[in-house]
Amino acid sequence: MTDRPTLSVIVPCFNIRYYLADTVTSLVANAREDFEFVFVEDRSTKDDTYEALLDMSKRLPNSRVIRHETNQGLATARNTGIDAAEGRYLTFLDGDDWLAPGYLPQLVSAIQRHDVDFVRTDHVQVTGVQRRVHRAPEGRRDTVLDPRSSILPTDGSTMVDYPYAWAGIYHRRLLDRGLLRFHDGLRTAEDRPWIWALHRRAESYVVASLHGVFYRRGIATSLTQIGDVRQLDFIRAFDQVLAELENDPEADLLRPKAIRNYCAVIAHHLSERQRFQRPVAARLKELSSQALRRMPERELQLALAGMDEQRRRTLHRVRSGMKGALA
């Protein structure tokens, strides 16, 4: 192994024992002597993920397992891996997902060939036995781009709407500039402030047409399937996006996009509030109303105008209903 690994693969793991064999087997099929694999076990509570990791990772050269003292969530688990990583490039893989054979060498080749801050890729969404390719929402492929050029338009799907950290590879220089770490403690939507900061402040990137990441949807252990209070962290995440945007020289240009993102996610959660525990659903409505009322009126109305009628009505009702209750 060279003095510094070419690539560090950071794999946060929590209650994913059932899927671990697929994950590790796929990494074995991608291993190279200059790659390292950093597993972060976030104190699983429902299975023997840690013990299985210790056993299975023996198949994987240049791998190690770090265990948290307490469960701290995905953002902090990724940060633990980032702090331990030694590679020139870094990438992520969630512990219940997997990679196609030979994908990691292709990923490294892409970032080395273009010499950019980061590369983003497509991915394959897996729901049961169904598989569907999700393309990154940027049509310019294998071309060096300014990351800021992929934030707008406001009313279209852009790269800040595609926040998946595992769909890409990142140069270590981004870490030195404070652009790779996540906001500690966020349990969900941790990648929203992260992707916004990356596209606002990095200098160069490329979108590569690689389909080697397989992302499981709809599994019972996923936080997106659990209707508890941790889901409400999306409010803190988007508040962070808006707060950081205030220091941007183009804040007035970019803020409508962030507000539209925020409103769309609020509407999504409100439309599925039946999966939340009752006190959490009530808290969701309260926090959503407060968030909507904090937004600048003109930009909020522009965001709502671009949405379908059902989402518009839902957001108006929650916003005005809470104002009435408070009055």
Q: What is the pLDDT of residues 25-42, one digit of tens each?
A: 999 999 999 999 999 999
Question: pLDDT at position 113, please?
Answer: 98
Q: At what angle do helices 49-56 and 20-28 cross, to 10 degrees?
A: 20
Give the range among 132-141, 248-257, 274-283 with minimum mean pLDDT. 274-283
Question: pLDDT at position 59, please?
Answer: 96
Q: In whole angstroms, what is the distance from residue 210 CA to residue 24 CA?
A: 20
Predicted confidence (pLDDT) per residue in 151-168, tens digit: 999 999 999 999 999 999
Rounded to 5 degrees, what are φ and ψ at 313?
-65, -40
CB 11 within 8 A of CB 38: yes
pTM of the predicted model, to two decimals? Answer: 0.93
Do residues 67 and 212 share a domain?
yes
Rounded to 5 degrees, what are φ and ψ at 8?
-110, 125
Helices (H), 202-250: 233-245
Q: Does the pLDDT of residue 223 top 70, yes or no?
A: no
pLDDT band at residue 220 under the 50/70/90 scheme: low
- Domain assignment of residue 2, yes or no: no
**Tokens encoding 46:** 């429902």
Q: Does the pLDDT of residue 325 top 50, yes or no?
A: no
Do residues 173 and 62 share a domain?
yes
**Which residues are within 8 A (CB) of 155 and not within 5 positions of it... i.e. 6 or more apart?**
260, 306
- Domain assignment of residue 1, yes or no: no
CA distances from 8 to 132, 170, 311, 325 (A): 27, 10, 41, 51
Question: pLDDT at position 138, please?
Answer: 98
Do residues 207 and 234 share a domain?
no
Do residues 111 and 155 share a domain?
yes
Do residues 214 and 283 share a domain?
no
What are the start-end ranges of the E strands in 57-111?
A: 63-67, 89-92, 98-99
Do residues 199 and 233 share a domain?
no
The domain total for the chain is: 2
Question: pLDDT at position 196, please?
Answer: 98
What residues make up the domain containing 168? 7-223
